[in-house]
């Protein structure tokens, strides 16, 4: 999960959330609805993506991050 904070043009703070391996999308839906975050999620399971769309009204991104080269900066 990653949270990105930035100031908009009106000098107000906005937050974007990216959840990786989001499962059924419940946390993304909660973050968007209850905390007004710009929330999105990555998931590989077609069934979980379908559940999120049909039940939670959340659009997830089908992506397998294991196909990417990830590096950590310490």
Domain containing residue 32: CATH number: 3.40.50.150
What's the structural domain count of the chain?
1
Query: Is 42 inside a domain boundary?
Result: yes
Q: Which domain holds residue 19?
A: 2-6+14-65
Residue 42's pLDDT is 94
Query: Is 73 inside a domain boundary?
Result: no
For the chain, the maximum distance between any two Cα atoms, rounded to a whole number of angstroms, is 40
Give the strand pairing for 13-20 and 2-7.
antiparallel
Q: Which residues pair with 3 in a beta bridge?
A: 17
Residue 69's pLDDT is 64
Query: Is 36 inside a domain boundary?
Result: yes
For the stretch 29-70, pLDDT in tens is 999 999 988 999 999 999 999 999 999 999 999 988 887 666
Query: Is 71 inside a domain boundary?
Result: no
Query: Is 56 inside a domain boundary?
Result: yes
Q: Which residue has the tokens 């990830």?
A: 70
């Amino acid at each position: 999960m990653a949270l990105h904070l930035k100031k908009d043009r009106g000098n107000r703070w906005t937050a974007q959330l990216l959840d990786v391996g989001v499962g059924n999308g419940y946390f993304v839906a909660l973050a968007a609805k209850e905390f007004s975050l710009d929330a999105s999620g990555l998931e590989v399971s077609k069934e979980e993506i379908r559940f999120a769309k049909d039940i939670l009204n959340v659009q997830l991104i089908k992506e397998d991050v294991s196909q990417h080269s990830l590096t950590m900066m310490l």
